[in-house]
Amino acid sequence: MTTLLVKNIRTLVTMNAERLEIHDAALLVKDGIIEQVGKDIDLPITADDILDLHGRYVVLPGLINTHHHFFQSLTRCIPAAQNYDLFNWLKSLYPIWNNLTPEAIHVSSKIAAAELILSGCTTSSDHLYIYINGITLDDEIQAIQEIGLRFHASRGSMSVGESQGGLPPDSIVEKEPDILKDSQRLIERYHDNSRHSMLKMSLAPCSPFSVSQDLMRESAALARSSPGVRLHTHLAENRADVDYCMAAFGMSPGDYVDAVGWVGEDVWHAHCVQLDDRTIRNFGGTGTGVAHCPGSNMRLASGMAPIRHMLNHRVPVGLGVDGSASNDASNVMSEARLAFLVARARELDARAMTPREALELATIGGARVLGRDDIGCLAPGMSADFIAINIDRPELAGAHHDPVAALICCQVSAVDYSFINGRKIVDQGQLTTLDLGKVVEEHNRIACELLRG
Ligand code: ZN
């Protein structure tokens, strides 16, 4: 049994039901689980490991990312795709992604995870939907296990190519029986549905314009045969996506997911920029989650998702940085700031989202979207996933009267400490589990090779 005491915390943001913030606080961890949270003077003074934060740090639950495509860090900022909307952006990138390899998936997963962790993320989902040239989801899972991020892996898929009326080229899609067989294999091999799990599985047919309704239904049936396996896809990302649904299925995106059984507490949809009111009410009533990706939605000119409206109707909402080719950053804190700004700009209302509500989306909101009650909040019995940020930094100068709101308002983009499952993964701003310089070099080499084809 090992214990860790974090003491002299200036402000500890619990994100518990009362949204308690404790000043002059301490946190005691035993074997990766939070044992005690409270005032410094009320906690033990000894432990196996002690981190003294000298009254200069804010501690908060680790941030949670609910939508990403790790491999896209290899194709960030490609000149030919910089000024396109969703469908044209995808069409310009599919031929490059056609050259992806198992090594490319492994190395890009490490880079994406490193960028996420250094900016405060402690749990991420990822949606890998390209399986060519021998790629398997194992390539990504092994990379994430090495770095130590809590992970929700999604077995994505594309099965409807251009010749069948889909958007992706035929060369990049799979056969549906192969997808379902591999999904079953991955669930059996990796899915751990226990409390404090470091790895859970989801099934994630990519989007209405790249899979069939049969695959949606069969993936849902397969996921629901294993407790804790969730369902994830892209939905109503922009107007063209809505138009595609109407033309191909004669239904709006909301009616389409309802028809194929993709609503409920075990489902979350990415983007939902163009959801109609009826669907928002349906999602709120059924507990269907949404991954809000404001950076990507603006970058691809998709629009501004009606998040205030969703929250008013009790839709579970978390944040997603989305793939690094459409953001092009993997920074959940920055995404929380964008969510805060976009809600106000969309509603023309300065009360549409407060800085603390943006932090809620990034923590407890993300936990709910991923179906977890053991992360997103700092309280006894929760997983010891937390981050610490020194307030003596230029971005926060002048904002010490409310450093918690300042994390959002002033844009803090890196953390000083990060603990995941009680393990120190970031120490004084440096990753402890990866030789980052070496991986950046490998990643850049692979990115060049991909472009050359
Ligand atoms: Zn996406």
pLDDT mean by block of 10 residues, the chain; 453 residues: 96 98 98 98 95 98 98 95 95 96 98 98 98 98 98 98 96 98 98 98 97 98 98 97 97 97 98 97 98 97 98 98 92 97 98 98 98 98 98 97 97 95 98 97 97 85
In angstroms, the Cα distances linking 184 to 132, 188, 372 are: 18, 6, 22
Distance 158 CA to ligand 1 centre (A): 13
Contact, 313 vs 339, CB < 8 A? Answer: no
Distance 235 CA to ligand 1 centre (A): 9
- SS3 string, 33-101, reads EEEEEEEHHHCCCCCCEEEECCCCEEEEECEEECCCCHHHHHHCCCHHHCCCCHHHHHHHHHHHHCCCC
Distance 262 CA to ligand 1 centre (A): 17
**Chain Cα centroid distance, residue 151:** 9
Can you give the pLDDT at residue 163?
A: 97
d(C-alpha 64, C-alpha 44), whole Å: 29
d(C-alpha 86, C-alpha 386), whole Å: 35
d(C-alpha 26, C-alpha 37), whole Å: 6
Distance 363 CA to ligand 1 centre (A): 20
Distance 307 CA to ligand 1 centre (A): 17
Which residues, chain by chain, have CB under 5 Å from ion ligand 1? 322
Distance 233 CA to ligand 1 centre (A): 8
Distance 433 CA to ligand 1 centre (A): 27
Distance 251 CA to ligand 1 centre (A): 22
Distance 335 CA to ligand 1 centre (A): 14
Could you tell me the end-to-end alpha-carbon distance of the chain, in angstroms, rounded to an integer?
Answer: 51
Distance 54 CA to ligand 1 centre (A): 41
d(C-alpha 253, C-alpha 266), whole Å: 18
Can you give the pLDDT at residue 262?
A: 98
Report the DSSP pairing between strands 150-157 and 386-390: unpaired
d(C-alpha 261, C-alpha 219), whole Å: 10
Distance 76 CA to ligand 1 centre (A): 14
- Reported as type and span, the H/E element at residue 258 is helix 253-259
Counting runs of H as helices and runs of E as strands, what totals does the chain give? 15, 17
In angstroms and rounded to an integer, the radius of gyration of the C-alpha atoms of the chain is 21
Distance 362 CA to ligand 1 centre (A): 17
d(C-alpha 383, C-alpha 403), whole Å: 24
The b/e string for 18-29 (b: 16+ C-beta within 10 A; e otherwise) is eeebbeebbbbb
Look up residue 78 and give its two tokens: 């490609």
Distance 333 CA to ligand 1 centre (A): 18
Distance 321 CA to ligand 1 centre (A): 9
The b/e string for 89-119 (b: 16+ C-beta within 10 A; e otherwise) is bbebbbebbbbbbeebbbbbbbbbbbbbbbb
Distance 88 CA to ligand 1 centre (A): 15
In angstroms, the Cα distances linking 62 to 23, 51, 91, 132, 423 are: 18, 17, 35, 34, 12
**Chain Cα centroid distance, residue 117:** 11
Distance 65 CA to ligand 1 centre (A): 12
| CB atoms inside a 10 Å sphere around CB 428 | 9
- Which residue has tokens 């009254």? 55
pTM over 0.85: yes
Distance 73 CA to ligand 1 centre (A): 13
Q: CB neighbours of 195 closer than 8 A, spacing ≥ 6?
A: 374
Distance 387 CA to ligand 1 centre (A): 26
- Which residue has tokens 């900022």? 77
DSSP for 119-179?
A: TTEEEEEEEE----TT--HHHHHHHHHHHT-EEEEEEEE----GGGT-SS-GGG---HHHH
Distance 367 CA to ligand 1 centre (A): 18
Can you give the pLDDT at residue 324?
A: 86
Distance 30 CA to ligand 1 centre (A): 36
